[in-house]
Amino acid sequence: MKDKIKTRKELIWFVEELKKKKKMIVTCNGSFDIMHIGHVWFLQEAKKQGDILIVGLNSDASVKRYKGPNRPVNKQEQRAEMVAALEMVNFVTIFDELDPRALLEAIKPHVHCNGEEYGKNCMEAETVRKNGGRLHLIKRFGDFSTTEMIKKIKKIY
């Protein structure tokens, strides 16, 4: 698993080599804090878009900035290993920015996958398109949400 977790610098090198071999590079991103079937569905659908799936994982600091002081539940190293353990994922890289645009600028994927709820004009769209890539929107699988799972657990306890 840990051999799938790369720094941005390492990942850029791998991507350059993979592109030389005509591999289709697909990216997606998220916090993947408490894994659920919605995450697995999303990653499976993303992988169908190309040969190599790279997951940008929000660092602990970036998750706190957009989800609040009590998140993430799991540390970034643990979350990275969980995502890397999935067969459809080729690489995981942790990013500290609030959004993945700098990462996408560095990788220049052929396809970037995002949830349909973010729409075709999501914040990543311009970066992906200006580098010759396309945005692929994935329909939500059921009503799964880590935030909602945490709320249910709090009600139980």
Query: What pLDDT is stored for residue 144 in this prediction?
Result: 66
Residue 93 in this model has a pLDDT that exceeds 80: yes
Q: What is the mean pLDDT of residues 68-81?
A: 95
Domain segments of the chain: what residues? 2-17+28-148
Determine the pLDDT at residue 143.
73
- Mean residue pLDDT of the chain comes to 93
- Does pTM surpass 0.95? no
Q: Is the peptide bond prior to 109 cis by the omega test (within 30 degrees of 0)?
A: no
Tell me what the mean pLDDT of segment 84-103 comes to: 97
pLDDT in the model for residue 2 = 79
What is the average per-residue pLDDT within 27-36?
94
Q: How far apart are the first and last CA of the chain?
A: 34
Tokens of 2: 């840990």
Distance in angstroms (rounded) separating the CA atoms of residues 41 and 18 = 25
The DSSP result for 65-126, as a single string, is HHH-TT--SS-HHHHHHHHHTSTT--EEEEE-SSSSHHHHHHH--SEEEEEGGG-TT-TTHH
pLDDT recorded at residue 85: 97
Q: Which fold has domain 2-17+28-148?
A: Rossmann fold (3.40.50)
State the pLDDT at residue 142.
67
- Quick: pLDDT tens for 37-61: 999 999 999 999 999 999 999 999 9
Please give the backbone phi and psi of residue 64, each rounded to the nearest 5 degrees, phi first.
-60, -40
Sign of CA dihedral 23, 27, 32, 38: negative
Q: What is the pLDDT of residue 100?
A: 96
> Which has the higher per-residue pLDDT, 98 or 18?
18
Residue with tokens 């991103």: 29
pLDDT digits (tens, 9 = 90+) for 107-154: 999 999 999 888 888 999 999 999 999 999 998 776 766 677 777 777
